[in-house]
A and B are shown apart, each in its own frame.
Chain A
Amino acid sequence: MIALLMRDLKLAFRAGGGFGLGLAFFLIVTVLVPFSVGPQSSLLATISPGVLWLGALLACLLSLDRLLALDWEDGSLDLLATAPLPLEAVVTIKALAHWITTGLPLVLAAPVLGVLLNLPQPGFVWLVVSLALGTPALSVIGTFGAALTVGLKRGGLLLSLLVLPLYVPTLIFGAEVARRGAISMETNTPLLMLAGITAGAVALLPFASAAVLRVNLR
């Protein structure tokens, strides 16, 4: 399992792996927001938690179609499926690798971009906490979407259509934590709900992803 994780990480970090692509996308979305809504700092302060969450979500989405597609094309997915490792573990590792290469950098970059969008002072901690808790769910749900569309020639657009509605609960609770944190409100309820969604998704979705992948590899 660890070998597989290291392999995926190495592939992502080396040239052509697309590491940092999500991060650059996140940066560009954040920079574009003031151009579209205007540079008033009070307005930016109000919308910054939501915008940062949406940007992180879209950046996650962007990298999903290469999550399994490259391994599908060169046949290593077939090898992994016949390996003694259960397919459920394989997709969990894939999701973990996706989170380390996409989710984690987003979490770390979010405060810096928060400065650009004039995020209120108490919001920084909650933004990082909510993203750290929520992005694993985004990766796991995204892995399910990638497993569904892996056999398709042009699955990218379909992948967004399938995955975005599934992202709704995570986005609502995650952005709510960040929003409440930014205006110094109590954040316990949405934070616990967000944690619940992440825990549930991490525990159950790998089974669905593996089942779907088996159908696609048939």
Chain B
Amino acid sequence: MSSDSIDIINAFALLTNFVILPALSYGSQLALGALAVTLVYSVLRFSNFAQGDSMAFGTMIVILLTGFMINQGWTISGIPTALLVIPVAIIGTAIYLLSMDRLVYKFYRRVKAKSITIVMASIGVMFVTGGLVRFILGPRPQIFADGERFIFSVREFKAFTGLEQGIALKTSQFLTVTIAILLVAFVFYFLQKTKTGKAMRAYSDNKELALLSGIDPDKVVTVTWLLVASLTTIAGALYGLDKGFTPQQYHLLLLPIFASVIVGGIGSPLGAIAGAFLIAFSEVLLTYAYKKFLIYLLPLSMHPTSLVQLIGTEYKYAISFMILVIVLLIRPTGIFKGKVLVDE
């Protein structure tokens, strides 16, 4: 197997299979979550701590509906059933988020509370939402992926290319990246080109002038939550299809999502996406064991004996933290020159 010649093609195949594809799909999932946080921040002026748990809530609906559909035998072979129920799950999540807005956030908007106060309220919503999910679904892991697992498997890839190192493209990875691109394109089109989208940007830019232009703030808020519900449910479902679901895991997703938003530049949708991929690639690149990769690239005498893993996977959340600290020290506005975290 391991010859002493340098084998760049197999090294690249290895890296694609274990780093690039997983990081691309993880990055896409984070990007959708980060975009939702950015929308809430821009329009409603608070950092939504309930984002991770809202994703758990949306995914919970997807899981319940998927189970129901499979029980009824209402499936299409090859396609994950979860994909079919996402539209209904989005409606469910939208109703939940809008109810939370009416019950909690609306009051703080009316009394013109400071943004830090609303952030604290969102932490309350986070606990309630997480509790609801654990109450309904339980804390245990859930697997809800069905249908074809691979677009092409390692074995098929090897047979096709004759390479020693195979690449597998999981259905969930393919779906994640494809759907994320379509959804992001839709959100940007909506914000840039439609009248309602422009009104959202206007409201985010200058609330008082938006009112003076006749823009209805209630409508802007509602549309924002509808977009957030779509992004949240889809991000959660895709992450769950890819990596499985536990309420705790989704709760912890908040950290890499916030890191993405801040690294990219708070309030900048493009920044949120760039930040998400930066965080995802850092996590995967820093926790990957490079032993086999180096064996492909180095002559026999230099082959590593250790795993050559920079950071253990159990520390992956620390990476988001580290990047966050570095960015806040060096460039607090983020890559895309967003706002800094101050309460105006």
Q: Do A and B come from one complex?
A: no
By a beta-carbon cutoff of 8 Å, the part of chain A in contact with chain B is none
